[in-house]
Amino acid sequence: MSVYSPVLDQVTVPSDLRGLSKDQLRQLADELRQETINAVSVTGGHLGAGLGVVELTVALHYVFDTPRDRLIWDVGHQAYPHKVLTGRRDRIRTLRQGGGLSGFTKRSESEYDPFGAAHSSTSISAGLGMAVARDLSGGDNRVICVIGDGAMSAGMAYEAMNNAGARKGQLLVILNDNDMSIAPPVGALSRRLAKLVSSKSYQFLRGFGRGLAERLPRPLRRAAARAEEYTRGMLMGGTLFEELGFLYLGPIDGHDFDHLLPVLENIRDNGIGGPVLLHVVTEKGHGYAPAARSADKLHAVSRFDVVTGAQSKAQAAAPSYTKVFAEALVREAEADDRVVAITGAMPAGTGLDLFEKRFPDRMFDVGIAEQHAVTFAAGLATEGYKPFCAIYSTFLQRAYDQVIHDVALQKLPVRFAIDRAGLVGADGATHAGAFDMAYLGCLPGFVIMAAADEAELMHMVATAAAYDKGPIAFRYPRGEGVGVALPERGQVLPIGKGRVLREGKDVALLSVGTRLQPALAAAERLQMRGISCTVADARFVKPFDRDLVRRLAQSHHMLITLEEGSIGGFGSQVLDYLANNDLMRAGLSVRTLMLPDAFQDHDDPQKQYSDAGLNAADIVRIVETSLAKTA
């Protein structure tokens, strides 16, 4: 149910917003903040970052001509208020629900989302591409990139700024600094200077002075330019950005329209040549008391009570895989002081906050910098340490060259803990761990494990800690385990060996990862229909148990592989082995069950697995259909 919002009710799209008076913007922002809080209380999702940019969102759509002017949000989870103002208010309570709005910006969802940004630090590169396309086409629209919530910690942002700084075309980068990690607190002097430097008179004088300087001998010309840049740098900060070729403005208060609007209007109207970086300081979770009291400013929440902020979380039947991994790693670190942990801005998401409490000197959060994280781990491995690099499957994609060149090629024993392997429900395609078995499985010398349950995960942590011959990875899903009993400490598994949990004679179900439970359930149902099944857990994607695969292929009418990954993964490796070792005999039917060759939209996880054909009922149907065809 929507909140009382007489001003917001007048705004369906940003052109409506521009018809309001400036005096109405404060009330609009208050109503927009309450609407955002109310909507996320129903759906869950990212809350704190969006609340911090409410005023900035209003100001940008008020000053600029969106969607003609391109507005890119980075990371896209800041964009819930933006969605409300851009024709999606009537669907805002479908956020992250099946068939509803995405939790991130999405090109197919709205013309006001010119670029999808669910992974961070991409906006400046994309915005620069749009700006160059505009200039090549003779256009005059503006490009605005809002980058924040930690996204400026990634090297890609600086690569893009370095490239953009060499051009003269318009590009506005707004640094949403929501933890004051870059500059000192906003003061009256910095606000006045930002307004002054963006003003028409200053820009005229700056241009006039540069014109005069061009007439000077080259050494004096360079000295004059540096004097101007460093004088502003000393007064305002931002010398780094100036060195990259940007005009730096700020910092200014991102919650005060009296500060935001004049500077944005000056940037829009005063013909500032070249790229501009506007430093805006905001407070994550601003305007919502429960967020102010929360350590993470309610970054991501489940459904919650608006008044108290108390979240509605179902009672877990088993510990999460993430927690099991973290506790198992702590045990290994207690036994071996060479064990260290690395993550990229996700200490809580990967469970390494637990490791940090126990071993603060052996845990390294490197920020949103996965490439650096992997090569940093490689450096540690060269010196005899045992680095565990804990990164979500979908984020590890960002460091693929480093995985190949810096780790695999040099056979360095870096341990990769791959969280969020498989489908991830409400986070959708951008965060689904669909490809790691394929993109790691093709690399020589890589050992890859997939945990079928939380006890297996503990064994795989122990196995990785003990393995020193080269890179090793283990993957595990989001969410809670299946409730198996946990050992005090994991056992080291023999490399490349699977296990058989149920013996049969007709059909062999060979699972890797957490599709083992649906395989066991399917075997029970098939047994009731007179079909005898063997169920095996491969444990290893690479090297997989060739002796086990050979036996299953030779002693059953059908062999089915199951995995929570894309084509090119475990099933493809098994098929290659069967085909090249003359095991595809007459009378043997082989099926590979995997995620579909498509990006699956956000939805309930069970619905996603049903759509993928990986639940017990799907396995039963495929077995019966296939056997009927071969009868």
C-alpha neighbours within 13 Å on the C-beta side of residue 508: 22
Distance CA 440, CA 460 (A): 17
The catalytic position among 93, 96, 232, 284 is: 284
The Cα–Cα gap between 447 and 466 comes to 13
Q: How is 420-479 classified by DSSP, letter by letter? A: SBB--GGG-GGG-B-SHHHHHHTSTT-EEEE-SSHHHHHHHHHHHHH--SS-EEEE--SS
Peptide bond into 67 cis (omega under 30): yes
Say how far residue 353 (Cα) sits from the centre of its chain: 18
At 605, list the tokens. 């996880």
* Strand residues in 579-618 grouped as ranges (E): 589-593
- 452/458 Cα distance (integer angstroms): 11
**Which tokens in the block code for residue 79?**
């964009």
3-state per-residue secondary structure call for 317-340? CCCEHHHHHHHHHHHHHHHCCCEE
For this structure, is 226 an active site residue? no
The rounded distance, in Å, linking the Cα atoms of 277 and 171 is 9
CB 281 within 8 A of CB 180: yes
Structure tokens at 390: 């804990």
Give the contacts of 397 (CB within 8 A, at least 6 positions apart): 435, 436, 439
- From 191, 232, 398, 542, the catalytic residue: 398
Strand ranges for 230-385 from DSSP E? 247-253, 275-281, 300-301, 339-343, 363-365
**Sheet containing strand 171-177, strands side by side:** 70-74, 143-148, 171-177, 275-281, 247-253
Q: What is the DSSP letter of 381?
A: H
Burial class (CB in 10 A: 0-12, 13-18, 19+), 30: middle
Q: For residue 499, which phi and psi values (nearest 5 degrees)? A: -145, 150
The DSSP element (H or E) to which 176 belongs, if any, is strand 171-177
Residue 284 is among the residues annotated as catalytic for this protein: yes
Q: How far is CA 161 from CA 165, 166, 347, 385, in A?
A: 6, 9, 28, 35
Catalytic residue among 55, 283, 327, 370: 370
Q: In what order do the strands lie in the sheet with 472-475?
A: 363-365, 339-343, 386-392, 415-419, 472-475, 447-450, 540-542
Residue 338 bears catalytic tag: no
DSSP 84-117: IIIIIGGGGGGTTSTTS--SS--TTT-TT--S--
Active site residues: 284, 370, 398
